[in-house]
Structure 1
Amino acid sequence: MAPSFEDGKSLFNFVVRDGNGVKGMVDLGLSKVPEQYIQPPHERIVKLNASVHELPPIDLSKLDGPDHDQVANDIANAAEVLGFFQVLNHGIPLELLESLKSSANDFFGQAPEKKAAFQKGLSPSPHVKYGTSFVPEKEKALEWKDYVSMVYTSDADALSYWPNECKNVALEYLKTSTDMVKKIVKVLIAKLGVTLEDSKFEALIGLRMVNMNYYPTCPDPELTVGVGRHSDMGTLTVLLQDGIGGLYVKLEEDMDGEKKGEWIEITPVPGALVINIGDTLQILSNGRYKSAEHRVRTTSSQSRVSVPIFSIPKPTERIGPLPEVVESDGVARYREVVFEDYMNNFFSNAHDGKKSLDYATT
């Protein structure tokens, strides 16, 4: 039975508990945004008030040539100033990126009960979860997004339990991106003047997760958000966005005529991937690198998909400012924490800017 969009409990049960998601609600026909999804005015993204910023993509292939030092400087500078940059010639076939977007649409285009089979408590694997919003039970206003999250433990596990519509292409995306992630993180660690043992380096990107996000069309995008203000908890995020756009980043420093605190849109570049710094790298660098606050706008014209890969530390890894950086800075701005504790805190609270970093702040 269809819910009453005026009845909060009925709507919540239909969208969240029964696994129909925002897409299931939209497919029933919507002429206005339900009250549960209306964001307070200060959280809304008014497109006309935001800057569109064309970040010149970084050519990653030049890291292997005579321009290595310049490219390394560009990567480090982007990590220090914005926490976001785009890369081309990244080694991931463009055909694979197109297949990823298609497979995401295939998964979310299924009947609701097919997707709901991967809900927490029902999923055949604890490493695969289908859901909606971020922490629906704790949010004052829900996010206009459905997602499926797939944690990598082994090829066999992925091929057995990840959804059939996307498992092969998602696994290939994760595996072919590994060298790129390692290159970028190695550059950033080296620019801090630090050399890490291989085991420590591997532990910092030891857990990987692929998400597929789906943002259905919305009757009034300016009242909602696809994803609220947050920073990512891990070391590095690789994001494939489609050509529709809607990713906004908050400036932590003045940049190219834009002022600190303003929001800019990261315009999609064909064939490029978006890279962003996570909280872990901000902590390791003692604040030199920025895990930028970002959010996603919805659209009224067409649904949007994005596919991030999160490279995060192993849960047992202790993370804190690297000793060499603390010695140089003269003060440690963060305390050492076990990453699993940091992660549990992150997932137990609604999105609220960079508040997650408070857990590790001295």
Structure 2
Amino acid sequence: MAPVVSTLLSDSSDVKNFVMKEGYGVKGLAEMGLSALPKQYIQPLEERAGTIKIASGESIPVIDMSNWDDPKVAESICDAAEKWGFFQIVNHGVPLEVLEDVKKATHEFFGLPAEEKIKYSKGQSLTNNVRFGTSFSPVAEKALEWKDYLSLFYVSEDDASAFWPPGCKDQALEFMKRSEFVIRRLLEALMNRLNVKEIDQTKEFLLMGSKRINLNYYPKCPNPELTVGIGRHSDVSTLTVLLQDNIGGLYVRKMDGDVSWIHVPPVNGSLVINIGDALQIMSNGRYKSIEHRVIANGSNTRISIPIFVNPRPGDVIGPLPEVLESGEKPIYKEVLCSDYVKHFFKKPHDGKDTVEYAKI
């Protein structure tokens, strides 16, 4: 049986045991009808949703991909990667039913009893490639994020078939497969502007040799103004392809030191694309990985499904030779991808501090 509400609010260890060790997650807290947010989730004042500055009347680009071969489409992709770091794409070719199916499967996974979900948690999962958890880095964080997740690292179809949860593996795999073409075409356009005229096998491994898909679940929150769904950060990926539902809550920081944040409104059938740190490093800073965050919601549960497209863990990332061949000076050193990722995951979300790790 779950602890009573009064115990939860008064005993810190009970909250963590209930959420993490017993597998109820923040979903379990939300379903208890709490009238106040447990103290573990109260963020420092400067990180709370109620204190951030929202830019009005601005939005990231929305690019129509109906004609992939139109040079203007490639130009729009590269311009957005340079000037915004984020953009949405519509008419991209991933069927709407595939998107709807993976959203439905996400709700169904998080609707499972805690004793089913806990089977995929750290220490109980049969593989490190499948992980159910909560927040981002609970060991390192002073304040927890109001989010549960299922993280699925793709090794092979056989591995996924054997270890991914049966209720969502087919839908998650189908979303990944159908997005492959989109990812490849986006990278071809982005590489072309960097004077990489062909993505050979070596470049393919470097750019998209590793993939991970997350099912993210943000329950309705009793005090959304005091916490965050995800704290401000940039992704470590090459690219991230994000499917969000119609609730909203994703915010992107404006470039050039501006403190304002721009809401990324849900567009039916769209995918949100953002540049990750790996591509910022490979482009020597031409393409930008941008801080983003998710605000908790006091009225509705939100889900999102990102596909993180990464170099392989054993790859070394640094400015591409084609970028530097004109004499441009490198801003970043070469770093082992696995070292970079470990540096990212060992600390709380902290803006873009991780990319500083790679600077010369």
- TM-aligned CA distance change 1:63 to 1:300, over 3 Å: same
- Displacement, 1:268? 0.8
User: What CA distance in whole angstroms lies between the structure 1 residues aligned with 2:253 and 2:273?
Assistant: 15
User: What CA distance in whole angstroms lies between the structure 2 residues aligned with 1:6 and 1:97?
Assistant: 41
- Displacement, 1:93? 0.6
Contact 1:37/1:142, CA 8 A, preserved across alignment = yes
In structure 2, the residue matched to 1:306 is: 304
Check if 1:151 corresponds to 2:156: no
Check if 1:211 corresponds to 2:214: yes
In structure 2, the residue matched to 1:289 is: 287
Q: Deviations over 1:289-325 (max 9, x none)?
A: 1101000011111100000000100111111011232
In structure 1, the residue matched to 2:167 is: 165
Aligned ranges 1:241-252 → 2 under 5 Å: 241-252=244-255
- TM-aligned CA distance change 1:248 to 1:329, over 3 Å: farther
- TM-aligned CA distance change 1:50 to 1:327, over 3 Å: same
Check if 1:41 corresponds to 2:45: yes
In structure 2, the residue matched to 1:222 is: 225
Q: Helix, strand or coil for the counterpart of 2:183?
A: helix
User: What CA distance in whole angstroms lies between the structure 2 residues aligned with 1:91 and 1:211?
Assistant: 21
Match of 1:55 among 42, 51, 60: 60
- Displacement, 1:251? 1.0
In structure 1, the residue matched to 2:13 is: 9
User: What CA distance in whole angstroms lies between the structure 2 residues aligned with 1:55 and 1:88?
Assistant: 13
Counterpart of 1:157, as a letter, is D
- Displacement, 1:121? 1.5
- Displacement, 1:6? 2.0
User: What CA distance in whole angstroms lies between the structure 1 residues aligned with 2:102 and 2:310?
Assistant: 21
In structure 1, the residue matched to 2:24 is: 20
Give unmatched runs, 5+ long, in structure 1: 254-258
Match of 1:336 among 328, 334, 337: 334
User: Which stretches of structure 1, 4 residues or more, deviate above 6 A after TM superposition?
Assistant: none
Q: Deviations over 1:236-272 (max 9, x none)?
A: 000000000000001114xxxxx83311101111110
In structure 2, the residue matched to 1:256 is: none
In structure 1, the residue matched to 2:104 is: 102
Counterpart of 1:75, as a letter, is I
- TM-score, length-normalised on structure 2? 0.95
Aligned ranges 1:231-246 → 2 under 5 Å: 231-246=234-249
- Displacement, 1:88? 0.8
Contact 1:229/1:293, CA 8 A, preserved across alignment = yes
Q: Deviations over 1:307-351 (max 9, x none)?
A: 000010011111101123234463111000111111111111111
Counterpart of 2:285, as a letter, is G
Contact 1:19/1:115, CA 8 A, preserved across alignment = yes
Q: Deviations over 1:41-72 (max 9, x none)?
A: 111123994135443421123222xxx21111
Counterpart of 1:310, as a letter, is F
User: What CA distance in whole angstroms lies between the structure 2 residues aligned with 1:205 and 1:226?
Assistant: 27
- TM-aligned CA distance change 1:312 to 1:299, over 3 Å: same
Counterpart of 2:161, as a letter, is L
Aligned length: 354
In structure 1, the residue matched to 2:77 is: 75
User: What CA distance in whole angstroms lies between the structure 2 residues aligned with 1:213 and 1:197?
Assistant: 31
Counterpart of 1:272, as a letter, is S
Contact 2:241/2:272, CA 8 A, preserved across alignment = yes
Q: Helix, strand or coil for the counterpart of 2:357?
A: helix
Between 229-238 and 326-335, the greater mean CA deviation after superposition: 326-335
Check if 1:349 corresponds to 2:353: no
Contact 1:218/1:300, CA 8 A, preserved across alignment = yes
Counterpart of 1:142, as a letter, is L
User: What CA distance in whole angstroms lies between the structure 1 residues aligned with 2:100 and 2:199?
Assistant: 36
In structure 2, the residue matched to 1:269 is: 267
Counterpart of 1:33, as a letter, is L
Contact 1:16/1:136, CA 8 A, preserved across alignment = no
Q: Helix, strand or coil for the counterpart of 1:252?
A: coil
User: What CA distance in whole angstroms lies between the structure 1 residues aligned with 2:60 and 2:281?
Assistant: 25
